[in-house]
Structure 1
């Protein structure tokens, strides 16, 4: 049964005090062990009797307690202050991009769930990784955060994302998230730091720069290992039952148990984030990032040392609510969404050619991009279309007039054909398109989102180009790059560097290292997508 508000507050207070008491005991016994070690060192040289070695005066015990109390308070205050921001930084999460269609859908779902749950103070973040997972955070100011990964955004439909968000909202409402956030901030965050210290220790061990740095790293490793071990003990107080309860509340909010079951199943069969150093933060995620056999077991030890209940049991409970079976779930979950193939670039007004009259002499023909680049062309210039004798002023051709105004206003121009770039969406990401030559300008930070998503299919022309690039990649010697045409960045007008995207994929692209953008000629971005999807098994 769900807790009442008073019961939730009492439970939260008890567990928070328990966490502080464990922290106090940790520092008390740590100080006690340090003093014992010091006395043992002097015991070998001063001839103290064994009784004196184990004797602690009341004043000394009181001093140890005061030191432990101050250390515990400092640790507590440091860990709790700006707890949400600190954990988000460790996870590398960012605010959703308002210009991204997938991110907009996520933000809309958050707003809907906030209204359904009574106007909770919840914000959204996105983890820019391919893994599939979701998490929630909360602090003592009742500020909640729900985060999901780019991989989850790309592979789940709207109903499934709603179910995942509702699950995390249930944790926030029941204060489970606050308890988990406190436990993670006090102990779990240091697990990620421990992994980095361990890597640094390994590198220092095999390098020539040994000395004080190595001693400091060893000291840090020992301290963080103790804190990390304490965190594993703390995880025993995080009940598995809260996951069952959150699933139940999510079903009440969405009235759709099947979507939550599908979401859990899809997350379970994909990469969940193992190996990224988030294992010590496992309690805040909807599913443990690292697979552990103990999570799928039941019994005393499994309940004591595992923060998540058996996934198969959770799914079966939801399937019973939906009156569905596991076979139906696997069949529907493995069905891929239909993908649309990007249509070929249609012949448009801007690809027509015109003659322009200069001082009574017809010159041309010119394409639209060439025409607007001529300095002597004005709104009153006489034009006539190729293969036509009809003469008109430039201002009588609305499409050309708009291009001239954009050019004079300093809009971004295609680096290849000098046609004004237009904003558009590709795989839900805001990009700049050239409707003349078919090129695409993409910010480097947004490119991983495009490569994760699988909305756009591949035409036979794209597949043929990808095979040609693949043949080049198999050659012993790299082909000579085409450096005859140097493009200018549409943003800063500096020269772009033309090179291969990677040495594994010999696809030539143009990069601006000042503006952090990449220019893809027609079909080049689709070719890159093809290789990425083939590498991860999405294409056979």
Structure 2
């Protein structure tokens, strides 16, 4: 259960965020005042001798006009940065709504609901980035819509207490107004980046260079570019200076909310020791995350430059403060988080049945195969491979439950691209796949593969791990050629599927749908387990 923060703490934090916001606006205003007055100076140099009386005699009038234009431009710039919608920001981050049917997502949704009750901010949208990296973030737009997000990798690797501590940290950012401030600063930086691009590569300069003001433009262009760069630098400078402090404050407030500094310390240590995502996002958005996705060495350093140019304080400093509150030692965390060896759990053999179809016995079939076959009905005679007893399929308790299940949405309308039989919805690693019980292939909708790779519920035998390692070593010696367009279509949208490597590290070839709105993945029998084993073994070796 999460506890609300004291009202005084919330008010102080919000006042600090509002003061910083006003400072950002003043800085933008100063940059634009210099910018428009510089433009006026260029015009004066070019046309002063032709309109001497109008320009020189009324210099202060033109200066006032330039300042007024700068003021209104700064307001427009600032409002644009504040009013970007939450959906637009989440699209840039690559975040999607959490899945209420996913077991891992259910825990996350429940904790975010606790954060809503503790903070009084409603609604807080729980979102997930389909990435195996470990990270978390919070955002708030100018319309006071908020979201707390996490990656699939973090969902799989953090236990409930650690996940609660991370959500508390992000909720603390929302309560204090830090998330809105960070979003605003990121958008301001984006505008200055576009201005820099305008003063370097834009075709506008090629056109203007052929006019009578070309000489003045040649002189002014470096200054204009420098001004846009200066605006970006100053904005980034101020925000970086406060960014480290706000992370310490959010850690402290998170501890007050979850009352568990040790879990937050363990979560930070786990995230810091793993791949954090390295998402394709604007540079300013890195400050939204609990740890910098870029994993810059500057973030882990102390000193003047590190304090000014890094978005996050060193993890060691944050852990030290949390350990002080928990009255324990960082070394204990490192010892507790060593991965233990997997247990040997053999897969239980499913019962098999022969079925009397079209006046002859066929099989044996597993229960899932019977579920997928339309030709086997409750009235069909079946014989168990274990005891040779012949009964109607509907009289067997196990098969009866399968026929009832067939009437539910468990049997998909999608068919296996290899066997052309209906796929069966199966729960796997807390999520759902569409499984072919004949070829053991799996159809994974977009984002499901990343979930499965991140999770470690399924335990593999030593023999299976050894076989996969042997297969991978052989692949390194002789990488097979890939037919990029095999004769296979996506069972969901009927679009052509292409054979691609899941990654160059695993070397497993999968089929990926070419439809950008679908992007489903087909894994032939055994491919999904190969990917999981190779990724897990690599993580063990790293740790």
Query: What is aligned with 1:22?
Result: 27
Gaps of 5+ in 2: 1-5, 211-220
The alignment's C-alpha RMSD in Å is 4.6
What does residue range 76-155 of structure 1 map to in structure 2 within 5 Å?
Answer: 76-118=78-120, 120-155=122-157
Whole-Å separation in 2 of the counterparts to 1:517 and 1:257? 40
Is 376-385 or 420-429 further displaced after alignment? Answer: 376-385
CA contact (8 A) 2:354 2:382 kept: no
3-state SS in 1 of match to 2:447: helix
| Inter-CA distance 386–84: structure 2 relative to 1 (3 Å threshold) | closer
3-state SS in 2 of match to 1:99: coil
Query: What is aligned with 2:361?
Result: 364
Whole-Å separation in 1 of the counterparts to 2:448 and 2:17? 40
Offset, 1:60: 0.4
| Inter-CA distance 322–498: structure 2 relative to 1 (3 Å threshold) | closer
| Inter-CA distance 252–86: structure 2 relative to 1 (3 Å threshold) | same
Whole-Å separation in 2 of the counterparts to 1:496 and 1:239? 45
Whole-Å separation in 1 of the counterparts to 2:139 and 2:306? 24
Deviations, residues 233-290 of structure 1 (Å, cap 9, x unaligned): 3315626433322222211221211111122222223333557455423433323344
Greater relative contact order, per chain length (Cα 8 Å cut-off, separation 6+): 2
Offset, 1:444: 4.1
Query: What is aligned with 1:255?
Result: 259
3-state SS in 2 of match to 1:238: helix
Q: In structure 2, which of residues 271, 275, 280 is the aligned counterpart of residue 271 of structure 1?
A: 275
Offset, 1:75: 1.2
1:311 aligned onto 2:330: no
| Inter-CA distance 378–91: structure 2 relative to 1 (3 Å threshold) | closer
CA contact (8 A) 1:140 1:178 kept: yes
Count the aligned residue pairs: 516
Whole-Å separation in 2 of the counterparts to 1:287 and 1:386? 56
Query: What is aligned with 2:3?
Result: none
Query: What is aligned with 1:353?
Result: 354
Query: What is aligned with 2:395?
Result: 396
3-state SS in 1 of match to 2:133: coil
What does residue range 191-202 of structure 1 map to in structure 2 within 5 Å?
Answer: none
Offset, 1:21: 2.1
| Inter-CA distance 295–431: structure 2 relative to 1 (3 Å threshold) | same
1:293 aligned onto 2:294: no
Offset, 1:80: 1.5
3-state SS in 2 of match to 1:98: coil
Offset, 1:29: 0.7
Q: In structure 1, which of residues 14, 31, 36 is the aligned counterpart of residue 36 of structure 2?
A: 31
Whole-Å separation in 2 of the counterparts to 1:71 and 1:285? 30
3-state SS in 2 of match to 1:148: strand
| Inter-CA distance 262–446: structure 2 relative to 1 (3 Å threshold) | same
| Inter-CA distance 278–259: structure 2 relative to 1 (3 Å threshold) | farther
Offset, 1:146: 1.6
Is 490-499 or 64-73 further displaced after alignment? Answer: 490-499
CA contact (8 A) 2:135 2:290 kept: yes
Offset, 1:397: 4.0
Offset, 1:429: 2.6
Query: What is aligned with 1:280?
Result: 284
3-state SS in 2 of match to 1:181: helix
Offset, 1:495: 8.5
Offset, 1:57: 1.6
Deviations, residues 57-94 of structure 1 (Å, cap 9, x unaligned): 22101210221122112212222213433332222222
Is 246-255 or 285-294 further displaced after alignment? Answer: 285-294
Offset, 1:487: 7.1
Deviations, residues 173-207 of structure 1 (Å, cap 9, x unaligned): 222333333222322x4578799x69x97xx99xx
Query: What is aligned with 1:448?
Result: 450
| Inter-CA distance 289–193: structure 2 relative to 1 (3 Å threshold) | farther
Offset, 1:320: 1.6
Offset, 1:166: 0.8
Gaps of 5+ in 1: none
Query: What is aligned with 2:218?
Result: none
| Inter-CA distance 177–471: structure 2 relative to 1 (3 Å threshold) | closer
| Inter-CA distance 29–421: structure 2 relative to 1 (3 Å threshold) | same
TM (normalized to structure 1)? Answer: 0.78
CA contact (8 A) 1:180 1:238 kept: no
CA contact (8 A) 2:339 2:540 kept: no
Offset, 1:120: 4.6
What does residue range 60-75 of structure 1 map to in structure 2 within 5 Å?
Answer: 60-75=62-77
Whole-Å separation in 1 of the counterparts to 2:482 and 2:11? 72
Whole-Å separation in 1 of the counterparts to 2:247 and 2:395? 66
Offset, 1:500: 6.2
CA contact (8 A) 1:176 1:242 kept: yes
Whole-Å separation in 1 of the counterparts to 2:528 and 2:11? 56
| Inter-CA distance 125–409: structure 2 relative to 1 (3 Å threshold) | closer
